[in-house]
Amino acid sequence: MTRKRYFTIVAFLSLLLLSVIISQQPAGLQWTKETLFGQAKLQATPDSFYQHRVDEIFVRYCVDCHNENKAKGKLRLDSFRQAVFGGRSGDVLGKNSTTSLLLARMQLPADNRLAMPPLGRKRQTKDELKVIQMWLDKGASGSLTRAAFATAPEKQKIIELNPYQPEQIAKKRAPFAKQVAKLQKKYPLNVQYLARTSHLIEITHISSAPAMTDQSFTELDRVLPVVARLNLRNAPVTDQSLPYILNMRSLTYINISGTALSAPSIQQLIHLPMLKRILVSERLLQELDLQKFQQAGIILESVYYENS
């Protein structure tokens, strides 16, 4: 055997072995089809049912364990392409819902060691499982639009409450924590956090506690960015406090009924970016440009009985 013939045979066998290996790897086989044979790239279309309904279910329940950085069982569900490729167990989508390993795992009892998601994680709702089932029964398509799934359950708005994370809250409070603590020591009933999960504060004038006056606002200067609610009802506050109030960029609610703040000063409150509601003395309503408050998306309410 000549040297040339030997290397030709070795090269042929190497290519044959490589082709066998690639054929056993869906990702490699797909890459070959796209690169060498010009096949269209495997991906879901933007208007597909997958993009609008299926992908969000995978993101909510599956992607934490099946993504580019953490592919449990060598399975990725962070894109249509990767879902089609499957994982260590091979194809997980199947030809339909009855042959899909993925759906079978989703339908297992939560305490089953093979259940997806595993025990302790949020589980798919019946409607979400129905969406997956319908998608699989139509071939796990990446191109069929929502029109092809007219009987699919309506998309539900899911409100998820974030768990209490004291470390994260402490981190958010840190920039103003010392100043807030100092104020709480002097005004224990007047200065409070909105909730244990919030870094924003509420300041309230209470007649039985130290009064909130114009002088008090000079002490609030360091915490103005985190004041979200300000209740000054019947407080001895005048227009001198306005510059401080206008620097409360997180303020959403303010009650200034019974104060000495003038109508021109109150009118300037429309410039506060987060403000949604103002309570004022009824006698001031006729002096205010109500249309401007409405245009700014601020609810202006009047209080008739001012004295406590």
Could you state, in order of their start, the residue ranges of all structural domains in the chain? Answer: 49-149, 166-303
Q: Considering the chain, what percentage of its residues have pLDDT values greater than 90? A: 58
* Residue 132 confidence (pLDDT): 97
CA distance 92 to 236: 70
**pLDDT: which is higher, 267 or 187:** 267
Neighbours of 18 (CB within 10 A): 11
Q: With bands split at pLDDT 50, 70 and 90, how would you rate the model's confidence at 306?
A: very low
Max avg pLDDT among 79-88, 127-136, 208-217? 127-136
Asked whether the beta carbons of 247 and 218 are under 8 A apart, the reply is no
The per-residue pLDDT for 34 is 77
CB 78 within 8 A of CB 68: yes
Strand partners, 71: 66
Does domain 166-303 fall under CATH 3.30.1370.140? My reply is no
pLDDT of residue 62: 93
Q: Of 60, 105, 111, give the one whose Cα is nearest residue 87.
A: 105
Region 108-135 average pLDDT = 91
- The C-alpha atoms of residue 270 and residue 292 are separated, in whole angstroms, by 8
Phi then psi for 152, rounded to 5 degrees?
Answer: -65, 145
Burial label, 60 (beta-carbon count in 10 A; 0-12, 13-18, 19+)? middle
3-state secondary structure 253-279: EEECCCCCCCHHHHHHHHHCCCCCEEE
Could you give the CA distance from residue 169 to residue 199 in angstroms, rounded to a whole number?
6
- 19-48 pLDDT, tens digit each: 544 445 777 677 777 777 788 888 999 899
pLDDT of residue 171 exceeding 50:
yes
* pLDDT tier at 163, thresholds 50, 70, 90: low
Q: At which residue do the structure tokens 């506690």 appear?
A: 209
pTM: 0.49
Kindly report which listed range (26-40, 203-217, 258-272) carries the lowest average pLDDT score: 26-40
